[in-house]
Structure 1
Amino acid sequence: MKLSQLFFSFLMGYFSYSLIEILLRGYTHWTMCLTGGAVLTLLCAVNSRPAMTLIRSCLAGSLLITAIEFTVGFFDNIIMHWNVWDYSDMPLNFLGQVCVPFSCFWFLLCIPARGLCMAMNSRFAGMMYKKAVPIASEQP
Structure 2
Amino acid sequence: MLRKIRSILWKDVFLFVVGGDIYIIMEICYRGYSHWSMFALGGVCFLGLGYINRFFSWDTPLVLQMLIGMLLITTLELITGMIVNVCFGWGVWDYSQKPFNLFGQICLSSSVGWYFLSAVGIILDDYLRWWIFGEEQPHYCLFRKKAIVSG
Residues 54, 124 of structure 1: CA spacing in aligned structure 2 closer, same or farther, 3 A cutoff? Answer: same
The Cα RMSD (Å) is: 1.7
Shift of 1:126: 1.8
1:77 paired with 2:85, answer yes
* One-letter amino acid of the counterpart of residue 10, structure 1: F
1:93-104 superposed matches below 5 A = 93-104=101-112
Residue of structure 1 aligned with 2:46, choices 33, 37, 40: 40
Distance of 2:127 and 2:135 partners within structure 1: 12
* One-letter amino acid of the counterpart of residue 105, structure 1: G
Q: Which deviations, in whole Å up to 9, do the C-alpha atoms of 1:55-105 show, x marking residues without a partner?
A: 111100000000000000001111111110000111100110011110000
Distance of 2:135 and 2:35 partners within structure 1: 34
- Equivalent residue, structure 1, for 2:27: 21
Distance of 2:122 and 2:61 partners within structure 1: 10
* One-letter amino acid of the counterpart of residue 30, structure 1: W
- Equivalent residue, structure 1, for 2:123: 115
Shift of 1:127: 6.8
Shift of 1:125: 4.7
- Aligned partner of residue 115 in structure 2, secondary structure: helix
- Equivalent residue, structure 1, for 2:98: 90
Q: Which moved more, 1:87-96 or 1:45-54?
A: 45-54
Q: Which runs of 4+ in 1 moved over 6 A?
A: none
Higher helix share: 1
Structure 1: stretches of 5+ with no match in the other structure? 129-140
Shift of 1:115: 1.5
Shift of 1:47: 2.8
Distance of 2:124 and 2:98 partners within structure 1: 29
- Number of residues of Structure 1 aligned to a counterpart in Structure 2: 128
1:3 paired with 2:9, answer yes
Percent sequence identity over aligned pairs: 34
Shift of 1:121: 2.2
* One-letter amino acid of the counterpart of residue 4, structure 1: W
Shift of 1:51: 3.2
Distance of 1:52 and 1:126 partners within structure 2: 21
Distance of 1:102 and 1:20 partners within structure 2: 13
- TM-score normalised by the chain length of structure 2: 0.79
* One-letter amino acid of the counterpart of residue 77, structure 1: N
- Aligned partner of residue 2 in structure 1, secondary structure: helix
